[in-house]
Structure 1
Amino acid sequence: MHDIRQIRENPEAFDAALARRGLEPISAHLLILDEQRRAHIQLAEGALAQRNAASKQVGAAKAAGDDEGFERLRATIAKNKEKIAELEEARRNIEERLRQSLLEIPNLPDADVPDGADEDDNVEVTRWGTPRALDFTPVEHFEITGVKPGMDFETAAKLSGARFVLLRGAVARIHRALAQFMLDTHTEENGLVEHMTPVLVRDDAMLGTDKLPKFGDDSFLTREGYWLIPTSEVTLTYSIAGDILDEAALPRRMVAHTLCFRSEAGSAGRDTSGMLRQHQFEKVEMVSITHPDHSRAELDRMTNCAQGILEKLGLPYRTVVLCTGDMGFGARRTHDIEVWLPGQDTYREISSCSTTGDFQARRMNARFKPAAGGKPEFVHTLNGSGLAVGRCLIAVLENGQRADGSVILPDVLAPYLGGKMTLGADGVLS
């Protein structure tokens, strides 16, 4: 959410930043609402001053026996009371219109974010590893012989419909091992504090983390009014809503492994085969709460944490900086990490790490107390996948596949798989 005072001070810069996202100027509309709001505040304050002055005089008029003056002053007080109520109601309506308008405007991109229209304009900044040379034609994860017994889309469709999968046996165990490996790495090596959060949240949590009102159609809403979280970014970030943290407590680095739910409303026809794009999936999510001066460095740190998981797994990847036309609604800057999938002969996103600046903090009034004194300031919030577990499973299976339909698994998973490092063509670990 944006600060109307900053827009008021430099509307041209605000519109120019939105133009980089391909949006039309909007500051004039916002400033009209802001001017109307402030005008109603001044009128209400004037009416209140008149009422207070009349209230002081009414007692004197009664004591002096001035019945006519007494009644006139009483009428003035009553009239001003009604006027104040009308002005306050009008002000609240204008403030709500202004608030709704501000809530629907995306974050402004950082100055060093590349300009562009879509993903074709993203800029590659890192590439690690070399895709394995294969003497056979690789297939996608769901076509690998040894994977088929443990990746059941037909039964999942019977249970829940399209875009669900039922994992069983060895494949389910590998999926679980990946999540445990990610959590252990982030907590033991990267200094993140593990959390287990709810997956059902109220409107305020979705609103505070910029998922509402923009992305309501992309999420699932229960009959009881709870939202199923699209990622634990929502719960981890909103856990500090309304708080004033000590500067010494920053940064606060958190991680959680949860189920995630997305309606995928805007992805009809995309990635319909396999488990690349699902309504229900699991993710290990990283969230950092930082001092404003340190958020850019924290973004690089978070990106390195996610990249480190892929490097330990031996999975080739590349990292790109998203251009202004491809960035998410709440982001100031985003680093997407794309893992190599030999079955598709391309890189696909497996992690997205973003800094939102104070965009989310302003929505949920999350601040910190400067150590040097002064008024509380808004914290900066960051989020990133560390990693999407299902997509990581896909990458492990496709990169480790062999011509006979078996899969060689990464060495770092050995402690989680009882030392069994091969998924046989029969679907059994050995």
Structure 2
Amino acid sequence: MHDIKWIRENPEAFDAGLKRRGLAPMSASLLAIDEKRRAAILKSEQAQARRNAASKEIGDAKKAKDDARASALMAEVAELKTTMPQLELAAKAADEELNKELAAIPNLPLDEVPDGTDEHGNVQHHVFGAARNYGFAPKPHDDLGDALGFMDFEAAAKLSGARFVVLKKGLARLERAIGQFMLDLHTNEHGYTEINPPLLVRDEVMFGTGQLPKFEDDQFWAIKGELLAAPDGIGRLRSERLGLIPTAEVSLTNLVRESIVDEKQLPMRLTALTPCFRAEAGAAGRDTRGMIRQHQFTKVELVSITTPETSKDEHERMLACAEEVLRQLDLHYRVMTLCAGDMGFSAQKTYDIEVWMPGQGDGGAFREISSCSVCGDFQARRMDARYRGPDGKPRFVHTLNGSGTAVGRALIAVMETYQQQGGSIAVPDVLQTYMGGVKVIDKDQ
């Protein structure tokens, strides 16, 4: 959420940031609503002040035995009692109108973010490793999984429809091993605190991190119903919807919502291994084969809550933590700095980590496996999440989030990178302990 005061003081800078996002100028329309809101609030406050003053003047008039003045003042107070609710409603309506407009506007890019309208404007930051040479044509993960008999899309479709998968035996264990490895790495070596958060959250929680209102159709929703008794004997159904988290960022970041934390608690570094759920409403026809784009997937999430002064350094640290996962798995990857037009809604700056998948496309392809974003105070304003510094004054925290990493895509990368001629999968050294010493996954495992 943007600060209307900042927009009022920096309208040109605000519109310039929107332009980099591919959006038309909005400061003039927002400030017009703001002016209407401020005028309505002023009228309401003036009416309240006049009512208080008139009430006091009534007592003075009665003491002076000025019945005519007392009567006139009482009539004025009665009139104010009638008009004040209308003025309060007008002020509230103008405030809601402004907040509705502000809630739909994405965060502004930092100055160092490259210009561009889509993924073609992203800039390569650095590369780790190199593509492996095979003495055979590498197969995609779904062919490998099908040949092993451990990856079943047909069974999943019978249960849930398209974009789901059933993993079995060695591949189910390998996915679990990858997730546990990531979680242990981030908690034991990177200083993150493990959290087991709710998977179902309220609308205001989705709003806090930016899923609502703009991306409502991209979420899965569960309806919670409760039958209420009534005096007439006819039950009434009260329902409440809860959203299935598209990423643990939603639950973890909102742990500080509507609170003021002590600066000594910052930076707050949190991690969770959870299922994630995405309707992918805007991705029809994309990545329909295999496990690349699923409605349900597992991910290790990283979230940091920091002071404004440390958030940029924390962003670099978070990127390094996510990279370390792929380095220890010895997977080839590159880091991309996303351009202004390709960043997510809440981000000020984003690094994407793209892992090399040798079985994708014609001869292999880089595919995104992690996004690490710094959001500034954008989410904090939506959540009303603040901290209290040495001066005692509350200030909005800065929030960051990143995948550390997507477990399903890491599974794909491991399968395709470590495949052997004949279709077996070598288990990376760092995962063998989590696999009970198993070094190779083949049809017998």
Q: Which residue of 1 aligns with 2:400?
A: 382
Shift of 1:64: 4.8
- Which secondary structure state, in structure 2, belongs to the residue aligned with residue 102 of structure 1? helix
Corresponding position of 1:136: 136
1:397 aligns with 2:420: no
Specify the alignment match of 2:229 in structure 1.
Answer: none
Encode CA deviations 1:37-80: one digit per residue, 9 max, x unaligned.
Answer: 11122222222232222212223434455443333221100111
Aligned position for 1:230: 246
AA aligned to 1:264 is E
Question: Per-residue CA shift, 1:264-314, capped at 9, x if unaligned?
Answer: 101111111111101011100000011111111111111111110001001
Give, in whole Å, the separation in 2 of the partners of 1:266 and 1:405: 34
Match of 2:210 in 1: 210
Residue 315 of structure 1 pairs with residue 334 of structure 2: no
Match of 1:410 in 2: 428
Letter in 1 for 2:339: C
Stretch of structure 1 that moved more, 374-383 or 49-58: 49-58
Is the contact between residue 44 and residue 91 of structure 2 (CA under 8 Å) also seen in structure 1?
Answer: no
Between the aligned partners of 2:302 and 2:159, the Cα distance in structure 1 is 31
Query: 3-state DSSP class of the match of 2:414?
Result: helix
Contact 1:146 1:406 in 2 (8 A): no
Q: Deviations over 1:315-357 (max 9, x none)?
A: 1000000001100000000000000000011100000000000
**Counterparts in 2 of 1:157-306, with a 5 A limit?**
157-224=157-224, 225-306=241-322
Rounded Cα–Cα distance in structure 1 between residues aligned with 2:196 and 2:54? 59
Q: What SS does the corresponding residue of 1:222 show, helix, strand or coil?
A: strand
Describe how 1:63-82 pairs up with structure 2 within 5 A.
Answer: 63-82=63-82
Residue of structure 1 in register with 2:237 after alignment: none
Whole-angstrom CA distance in 2 between matches of 1:172 and 1:407 = 13
The answer for the alignment partner of 1:349 in structure 2 is 368
> Percent same amino acid at aligned positions?
55
**Contact 1:233–1:286 (8 Å) recurs in 2:** yes
Q: Retained in 1: the 8 A contact 2:373–2:402?
A: yes
Tell me the equivalent position of 2:235: none
CA distance in 2, matches of 1:65, 1:17: 64
- For 2:141 and 2:377, how far apart are their aligned partners in 1? 40
For the 8 Å contact 1:241–1:365, the answer to whether it is kept is yes
How far is 1:147 from its partner?
A: 5.5
Q: How many residues align?
A: 426
- Kindly indicate whether the alpha-carbon contact (under 8 Å) linking 1:146 and 1:423 is maintained by their aligned counterparts in 2: no
| CA distance, structure 1, for counterparts of residue 407 and residue 293 of structure 2 | 12
RMSD (CA atoms): 1.2
Q: Which residue of 2 aligns with 1:364?
A: 383
Moved more, 244-253 or 168-177: 244-253
Query: Which residue identity is paired with 2:92?
Result: R
CA distance in 2, matches of 1:148, 1:350: 24
The residue matched to 2:375 in structure 1 has which SS? Answer: strand
Quick check: 1:183–1:284 contact (8 Å CA) kept in 2? yes
How far has the Cα of 1:243 moved from its partner?
1.6
Please give the alpha-carbon distance, in whole angstroms, between the structure 1 residues aligned to 2:389 and 2:196.
30
Q: Which residue pairs with 1:123 in the alignment?
A: 123
Instruction: Look up the equivalent residue of 2:6 and give its one-letter code.
Output: Q
SS of the equivalent of 1:144 reads helix
| Mean CA deviation greater in 233-242 or 64-73 | 64-73
Deviates more, 1:275-284 or 1:70-79: 70-79
Runs of 5+ consecutive residues of structure 2 not aligned to the other structure: 225-240
Alpha-carbon distance, 1:145 to partner: 6.0
Structure 1: any 5+ residue segments left out of the alignment?
none
Question: In terms of mean alpha carbon deviation, does 79-88 or 291-300 score higher?
Answer: 79-88
Change (3 A) 1:155 1:146: closer
Is 232-241 or 38-47 further displaced after alignment? 38-47
> Which whole-Å CA distance do the structure 1 matches of 2:42 and 2:431 have between them?
66
